[in-house]
Structure 1
Amino acid sequence: MKLYVYDHCPFCVRARMPFGLKAIPFEMVVLPNDDEATPIGMIGRKMLPILEDDQGVLGESLAIVAKLDALGGPRLFDGAPATDIAAWLARWDPLINDLVIPRTPDPVYAEFRGAASRAYFTAKKEARFGAFDGLLARTEEFKAALSPALDQLAPILPDPEHPGIDDIVLFPVLRSLTIMPDLAFPGPVAAYLQRMSERAGVPLVTALRAMV
C-alpha cells in the first residue's frame, strides 16, 4: 500500500494520520511539487494525496481516511467534526493561509528540494493569494490576529488519546503553522500538537528542520 503525498499539504497529512493512529503499514512517496505527470496519470488531475493498493488508486483525503478506517479495529473517524472545531477552522483558515502559504516553498519539505518545484509552487500560489513578499511583510499583523484565536482553541481541543475525525481536520492545519519557529502556541495547543504528532507518526515542521 502506497500513499503519494506532499509533506506540506494538510490534506495529505489527513490521509497519513490513520496509518499511524491505527498502526497500518504503508509506503509513503513524496512527489516533487512540480511533478504533474504522475498524479495526472493516476487520477486525471494534479492532486494529492493518492492511495494506491491492490484494488487500484483512490484520491481525496477523507475518502482515503474512510477506507483506512474500515480496514480493521474499531472505526475512529466516522461522523462530522464537532461544530466548534469546524467553526474555528472556517473562521481562521484564511489568516492561517496568509501566514503559511508564503513560507511553504521551503526545502525542509522534500517536495521543495529542487528550485523548479519551489518556483512552480510560488507562481501558482501567488496568482491566488498575492505576492509572497507582501504577505511576509504583514507577518506581525497576522500573528497578532492569530494569537487570540489560538487561545480560543485551547479549551475545545480534542483528546489526542482518543483520536477521531476532529483530529483529522484540525491537526494538519495546526501542524502547518509549525513552519514558523517563532510562533508561540498556548501550552495546551503545543501539547496537543506534540502528542498527536507522536501518535500519528507525522513529524512537526520543527522536527523536520532538525533532521535536514
Structure 2
Amino acid sequence: MDLYIYDHCPFCVKARMIFGLRDVPITLQTLLNNDAETPTRLIKEKKVPILEFEDGYTMAESMDIVKAIDSQAEGVKVMDGPRNPEIERWVRAASDSVAKLFIPRVPRAPLGEFATAEAAEYFTDNKEVAFGSFDTLLEQTPELLVEVQHWLNELDALILSPQAVNEVLSLDDIELFPVLRQLSLVEGVKYPDNVEAYRQAMSQLADVPLHDEIAIAA
C-alpha cells in the first residue's frame, strides 16, 4: 500500500499513525505541495492523505483510513479505546494558537513537499489568504508562545500515560499527537514533563518522527 502525504499535514499524520500503532507496513509517497496532477489522477481532487491499495482502490479521508486499517489489523483496536471529552475540547481550543505558530514556519522547513521553490511559494500564497501575512504571524511569536504554554500546562494534567493519553490507545491519541507534532517545528516551545514524555513516546509508537531537530525560530 502507498500513502500519499505532505510531511507537515496533520491529517496525514493521523493516517500515518495507525500504520505505526498497528504495525501495518506502508510506503510513504511525499507529493510536492503544488502537484495537483497526482492527487487529481488518484481521487479527482487535490487533497491528501490518499491511501492506494495494491489493487488500485483509493481512500482519501484521514479518519476513514484510520478506521479501515484499524479494523483490518489483528489485536485490540485503537478506535475501541476509551475517549475523554476533555482531550477533544483541548484540541479544539489550542489549535488556533498552534496553527498561527506552525503555518508560517512550514514552507521554511526542509520537507519533501517543498523540494522546489515553486512548491513553497504555492503553499505561502494559498495559506496567507487564510492566515494573513506570514511575516506578521512570525512577529507575534512571543505572544503566541505564551498562549501555547497555557494550553500545554493544561494538557499536562490530562495525560495519564506516555504511551496513551487515556492509558489505553484511542482515537484521542490520533487527534492529539498531530497537534503536538506541529509544535515540534516551532523553536522555543517548553513542554511540561507529561507532555514531553507523551510526545516522545507516541512518536516512537506511531513511527512518525517529530521535527525538533529542524525547529524554526521567528
CA contact (8 A) 2:14 2:175 kept: yes
CA contact (8 A) 1:14 1:65 kept: yes
Aligned residues, how many? 209
The answer for the alignment partner of 1:174 in structure 2 is: 180
Which runs of no fewer than 5 residues in structure 2 stay unpaired? Answer: none
Which runs of no fewer than 5 residues in structure 1 stay unpaired? Answer: none
Partner Cα separation in structure 2 for residue 90 and residue 80 of structure 1: 19
Equivalent residue runs for 1:147-166 within 5 Å: 147-157=149-159, 159=161, 160-161=163-164, 162-166=168-172
Determine whether 1:44 maps to 2:44.
yes
- Greater CA deviation, 74-83 or 84-93? 74-83
Superposed CA offset, 1:147-178 (max 9, x none): 11100001112532532111100001110100
The answer for the alignment partner of 2:101 in structure 1 is: 99
Partner Cα separation in structure 2 for residue 47 and residue 189 of structure 1: 31
* Candidates 191, 197, 200, aligned match of 2:197: 191
CA contact (8 A) 2:81 2:169 kept: no
- Greater CA deviation, 154-163 or 73-82? 73-82
The answer for the alignment partner of 2:26 in structure 1 is: 26
- Greater CA deviation, 131-140 or 51-60? 51-60
Q: TM-score, normalised to structure 2's length?
A: 0.91
CA contact (8 A) 2:11 2:49 kept: yes
Equivalent residue runs for 1:110-121 within 5 Å: 110-121=112-123
Determine whether 1:90 maps to 2:92.
yes
Partner Cα separation in structure 1 for residue 210 and residue 140 of structure 2: 24
Partner Cα separation in structure 1 for residue 28 and residue 181 of structure 2: 18
CA contact (8 A) 2:2 2:53 kept: yes
* Candidates 108, 133, 140, aligned match of 1:131: 133
Per-residue deviation at 1:91?
1.0
CA contact (8 A) 1:150 1:185 kept: yes
The answer for the alignment partner of 2:17 in structure 1 is: 17
Partner Cα separation in structure 1 for residue 148 and residue 109 of structure 2: 25
Per-residue deviation at 1:82?
2.2
Secondary structure of 1:70's aligned partner: helix
Q: CA RMSD in A?
A: 1.6
Secondary structure of 2:78's aligned partner: coil
AA aligned opposite 1:65:
V
Give the % identical residues.
39
Q: TM-score, normalised to structure 1's length?
A: 0.93
Superposed CA offset, 1:34-66 (max 9, x none): 101111111121110000003500001000000
